[in-house]
Amino acid sequence: MFHTADYFNGAPGFYAETHGLSAWVALMNTLVVVLIAPNVLRSFCLHFITSNIHYYGDVDPKNVITQTQVLNNPWFWPLQLFCANFGSTHGIHHFVVGEPFYVRQITARHAHQAMREMGVRFNDVASFFRANRWGVVETP
């Protein structure tokens, strides 16, 4: 609103008192750029990755192999950058619960090899079209 009023300020028939708001708007712009926008971006990346690495509905809750997939395709690197490589390493947490995220980064290469051998899916982007189901969704 401030920027709109400031843009048209001085046009014939339009005058708005904005002197006191200038310092406040400058502070708000700084806060949005420094705090709010990065947190919104990080939250979006984390929610997008998290919601797409887990399978829902047709999985056995006791079978950790069918609970998650690993998203480590280069397409996801921009998203992974803002969520600490979560899509690539969170599946490890389902097998080794006690490892913090920074240890999972170190063990990821060997863990991914073992997970592949056990049948964990990697980069199953078709799950986006299956509503995050493990199998094919049957339409009635």
SS (H, E, C) 23-65: HHHHHHHHHHHHHHHHHHHHHHHHHHHHHHHECCCCCCCCCHH
Please report the pLDDT score of residue 75 as a whole number. Answer: 94
DSSP state of 78: H
Please report the pLDDT score of residue 114 as a whole number. Answer: 97
Give Cα 46 to chain centroid, integer Å.
3
- What pTM, to 2 d.p., does this model score? 0.76
Please report the pLDDT score of residue 6 as a whole number. Answer: 67
Q: How far apart are CA 79 and CA 102, in angstroms?
A: 18
Q: In order along the chain (140 residues), what is the average pLDDT of each group of 10 residues?
A: 68 64 80 93 96 92 92 95 95 93 95 96 94 80
User: 71 with 52: CB under 8 angstroms?
Assistant: yes
